[in-house]
Amino acid sequence: MRRFFRSAAFPILIVVVLAFFAQRLISPGSGHETPDYTTFVQRVNNNQIESVTWNTKDNSLNVKQTDGTSYDEAYPDSDSAQAQLLNDLQQHNVKTEIKGKGGSSLLSLLTHILPFLLFFAFWLAGDELRQVAGQADVGRRAQDHLPGRRGR
């Protein structure tokens, strides 16, 4: 078991586990089921939708129904389907807000680069520890060759 902790696999495992938890922390999954897109369009046509926030960054809609419940819905990437949906929302007087693709580039960069930085930090620390251990071993061998130090 000590051999595993000394190998390169241990830091890699730690980086993978940390990346997994960072992913979960940054984008947690939803705990409830949402209606499918066809049901959403039917609800728009039946005037059951109060407002929609259109997120172009991740192709999702934040839907608020007339009964006060909210959920997220994905929408098709097709331009014609998006135009049809926007027309339906306008015809049924659904309050619509469209958010652009802006976002935190620093956070995105951090989540993509951090695992590699952690890997290299563990790798450099491992090299440093091996060098220190090697120097201590060389010093001990040199002492063994001094006169009067035999047999220790």
pLDDT exceeds 70 at position 150: no
pTM of the full structure: 0.46
* Residues 111/26, Cβ–Cβ less than 8 Å: yes
Q: Is 8 a member of any domain?
A: yes
Whether residues 21 and 36 share a domain: the answer is no
Q: Is 106 a member of any domain?
A: no
DSSP code string of 63-129 = EEETTS-EEEEE--S-HHHHHHHHHHHHHTT-EEEEE-S---HHHHHHHHHHHHHHHHHHHHHHHHH
Give tens-digit pLDDT for 48-82.
999 999 888 888 899 999 998 999 998 888 889 88
Q: Is 81 a member of any domain?
A: yes
Task: Compute the mean pLDDT over every residue in the chain, rounded to the nearest whole number.
Answer: 80
Q: Is 143 a member of any domain?
A: no
Q: What range defines the domain where residue 47 resides?
A: 32-99
Whether residues 89 and 117 share a domain: the answer is no
Whether residues 15 and 47 share a domain: the answer is no
Total domain count, the chain: 2
**What pLDDT score does 100 carry?**
76
Whether residues 71 and 90 share a domain: the answer is yes
Whether residues 39 and 95 share a domain: the answer is yes
